[in-house]
Structure 1
Amino acid sequence: MKYNFLGDSGLRVSELGFGAGTLGGKGQIFSAWGQASQVEANRMIGLCLDAGINYFDTADVYSDGESEIMLGEALKAHRQQAIISTKVSIRSDDQINHVGYSRSYLLHAVEQSLKRLKTDYIDVLQLHQFDGFTSIEQLMRTLNDLVSSGKVRYIGASNFSGWQLMKAQSIADRYGYEKFVSHQVYYSLIGRDYEWELMPLNHDQHIGAVVWSPLGWGRLTGKFDRHHPIPQQSRLHETAQFAPPVHEDYLYRILDVLKELSKETQKNIPQLALNWLLNRPTVSSVLIGARNEKQLKENLKSKDFHLDDAQLKQLNSISAVYPPYPYYPYWNGQFSERHVQLVSSQFE
């Protein structure tokens, strides 16, 4: 297992992390993600630890807190080996103030997560989404207090836009508060929007990307292609309300190349899609979720091989999309891959 620094925190995290959203199985969305029992969760997390994974991600909203409970139970005998990340802010009950980042709710949410996780501290507390109703000055001050208290060790964001993340960093810099060291983002072969603004921002601000849904909401599992479209009864349709749209022709062109590379390398499509991400700039950890041990073992193999330059170029080229204004390189008429090459060169 390779270990990367999480931003400039000095904390080293495994290049593959375990996404615990598949634990719990409560509610329409999360039951579609996975329904692992505690016994199954213990075995999967044991496999992760044996493979060298030290980064485990969850959220207070996953299965109404059940994911945190199960993760905490599975890791209680291995706490010093594990880096636990959890996220807060999304409403999970009908109490009027139980949402967002007011000082009152943020402190309450952290206390509740600590209880469910059965731990005295959260390694990485991440803000699940942006809250436009709470002043960022108050938010960063509260996060700083949580770090000072020892209940949280590092802070991160998730699903922030560039200006939101940069404004928070600037306020933290102005007042000497803790800064974000991680940004949990959607990034995949069929979802490369991260590259236009957030990748160079993360580089500039020394923030590590933690990638969620690296298989494009199940579209890159190898189960579907132009001859076997996604069936109406697929679980993907149950969670697609949160998934970015993907044009079918674009998806199938990428899958065609992945199928060719699969034959060439003897690696399956998910392994290829995950491996591609492990080579991308600013990525600290790629979260793999699993519904069962078999799926987890297959995903873990994604770290055990290297694609050559020609193979990477194939994937880069077929998945490239023209970036939106003002990110497209209009001065030379080149497409997005040239833009990413320019960005990537800053990291070499």
Structure 2
Amino acid sequence: MSNWNTPEPQPPSALGRYRILSPRASVRVSPIQLGGMSIGTEWQGMGEMTKESCFELMDTYYELGGNFIDTASNYQNGTSEELIGEWMERRQNRDQIVVATKFSTPWRQHDASVAQKIHFAGNGTKSLHISVKASLQKLRTDYIDILYCHWYDWDTSVEELMNSLHNLVVAGKVLYLGISDAPAWIVSKANQYALDHGKTPFCIYQGQWSLSKRSFEREIIPMARDLGLALAPWNVLGGGRYRTDAEDKARHEAADGKARSGHTEDGKWERDDGDVKVSAALERVATEVGAKSIQAVAIAYHLHKTPYVFPVIGSRSAANLRRNIEALEITLTEAQIAYLESVLPFDIGFPGWLIGDGIGKHQIIAASAPIDVWPKAKSIKPHAAKLA
């Protein structure tokens, strides 16, 4: 008989300290997602990966307490889903893992046996039906934990999209819904339609966010805070270009696969001036907090900024994964966050510069009288530092 007074067990790492996904989704997940774009054997331009090295990576993540894996129908030409599915089947841990996958991107584009590829892309109901059927087969499962609309196609109405997605939830094939790479107003419109008509709303948003590219902060973060959405940023490490000068030199000398093909998140491998500046700033803060890598500091920055953030971090080795999850042990001061943000210019734009983002005092109202503002929810801070 279990005792409800039993002290909570100590996790193997901070990955094993689970947290609610979002106010709209009570599933408990690890604070950092394992990115599935690097899991697979087809996109060797991202760096050579074998089936064995992919399994080793997932084993390490799982053994450290990780339970949140992100992939997509098109990643590694489908081999990402296939290997994740085979790994879960072999380890017999499917129900312990929260798997997020996506539909919309042309996932049969590489397949010469498919003459007409038009129905294997986009947000429409037929594309959704075909993609989910294939994803369930590749993942060797009868349900998907989180299904994303990978990007908005501008042709599918929010009514068709939300009705079709909701039908999958009702059928038990999908548990939660997410959306990626879409304007804030589309997400707001879609969720309002869902709520007004008894459909399942989105509970998580995935998009590009890094110290170099902060437009995510203009509309997406305020929207997510208001609608109760989790955030799953990609490009957190600048597409792999946040590296110290020493790391950059070593990468070039090693003739890394990425250098040859340029197959990264945004097609760039060489650092530009902005990447160099951000890397130097991250190195300075890493020294201040005693972190072993600048990449861990970059991840920690996002975890500090706002609640319900679950960075999608790809790795190609167990050692690299371990370095990245050090982010969960790093505490940054407000001054350090401000310093990191000062390295590159960022204009919040209109109407943000005029009315703010809803976090602090509204300056126009504050001009009338002294006001106090109820604090918003804050991010979860590390429980204890273990950087030594």
Is the shorter-chain TM-score for this pair beyond 0.5, marking a shared fold?
yes
Match of 2:278 in 1: 254
Provide the rounded CA distance (Å) in 1 between the counterparts of 2:184 and 2:279: 30
**Rg bigger for which structure?**
2
Return the letter of the residue paired with 2:124: S
Of 354, 376, 381, 1:346 maps to 376
Q: Gaps (5+ residues) in structure 1?
A: 332-337
Match of 1:334 in 2: none
Match of 1:335 in 2: none
Match of 1:302 in 2: 327
Normalising by the residue count of structure 1, what TM-score does the alignment of the two structures yield? 0.87
Match of 1:119 in 2: 141
Provide the rounded CA distance (Å) in 2 between the counterparts of 1:312 and 1:14: 23
Provide the rounded CA distance (Å) in 2 between the counterparts of 1:130 and 1:306: 36
Deviation at 1:318, TM superposition (A): 3.0
Q: Gaps (5+ residues) in structure 2?
A: 1-13, 109-115, 362-373, 379-388
Deviation at 1:241, TM superposition (A): 8.0
Residue 299 of structure 2: SS of its match in structure 1? Answer: helix
| 1:1-348 matches, cutoff 5 A | 1=14, 2-7=17-22, 8-26=24-42, 30-76=43-89, 77-93=92-108, 94-222=116-244, 235=258, 238-239=262-263, 242=266, 248-267=272-291, 268-319=293-344, 321-327=346-352, 329-330=353-354, 342=360, 346-348=376-378
CA contact (8 A) 2:40 2:54 kept: no
Match of 2:381 in 1: none
Return the letter of the residue paired with 1:60: S
Provide the rounded CA distance (Å) in 2 between the counterparts of 1:108 and 1:11: 26
Alpha-carbon distance change, 129 to 246 in structure 1, aligned in 2, over 3 angstroms: farther
Return the letter of the residue paired with 2:266: F
CA contact (8 A) 1:155 1:178 kept: yes
Normalising by the residue count of structure 2, what TM-score does the alignment of the two structures yield? 0.79
Identity %: 26
Provide the rounded CA distance (Å) in 2 between the counterparts of 1:248 and 1:152: 41
CA contact (8 A) 1:43 1:293 kept: yes
Deviation at 1:315, TM superposition (A): 1.9
Provide the rounded CA distance (Å) in 2 between the counterparts of 1:75 and 1:110: 18
Alpha-carbon distance change, 118 to 42 in structure 1, aligned in 2, over 3 angstroms: same
Please give the per-residue CA displacement for 1:185-230, whole angstroms capped at 9, x wherever unaligned. 11112221111100000010000001212101112133579x9699
Please give the per-residue CA displacement for 1:155-176, whole angstroms capped at 9, x wherever unaligned. 0001111111111111112211
CA contact (8 A) 1:60 1:87 kept: yes
Provide the rounded CA distance (Å) in 2 between the counterparts of 1:196 and 1:224: 34
Return the letter of the residue paired with 1:301: E
Provide the rounded CA distance (Å) in 1 between the counterparts of 2:19 and 2:245: 31
Provide the rounded CA distance (Å) in 2 between the counterparts of 1:224 and 1:325: 40
Return the letter of the residue paired with 2:282: L
Return the letter of the residue paired with 1:347: A
CA RMSD across the alignment: 2.9
Return the letter of the residue paired with 1:242: D
Return the letter of the residue paired with 1:276: Y
* Aligned residue-pair number: 337
Return the letter of the residue paired with 1:305: I
Residue 296 of structure 1: SS of its match in structure 2? Answer: helix
Provide the rounded CA distance (Å) in 2 between the counterparts of 1:82 and 1:73: 13
Provide the rounded CA distance (Å) in 2 between the counterparts of 1:50 and 1:303: 16
Deviation at 1:306, TM superposition (A): 1.7
Deviation at 1:245, TM superposition (A): 12
Deviation at 1:347, TM superposition (A): 2.9
Please give the per-residue CA displacement for 1:79-127, whole angstroms capped at 9, x wherever unaligned. 1210000011111234222211221221111010000000010000001
Residue 182 of structure 2: SS of its match in structure 1? Answer: coil
Return the letter of the residue paired with 2:190: A
CA contact (8 A) 1:183 1:208 kept: yes
Provide the rounded CA distance (Å) in 1 between the counterparts of 2:271 and 2:350: 20
Provide the rounded CA distance (Å) in 1 between the counterparts of 2:316 and 2:133: 29
Provide the rounded CA distance (Å) in 1 between the counterparts of 2:308 and 2:40: 28
Alpha-carbon distance change, 247 to 162 in structure 1, aligned in 2, over 3 angstroms: farther
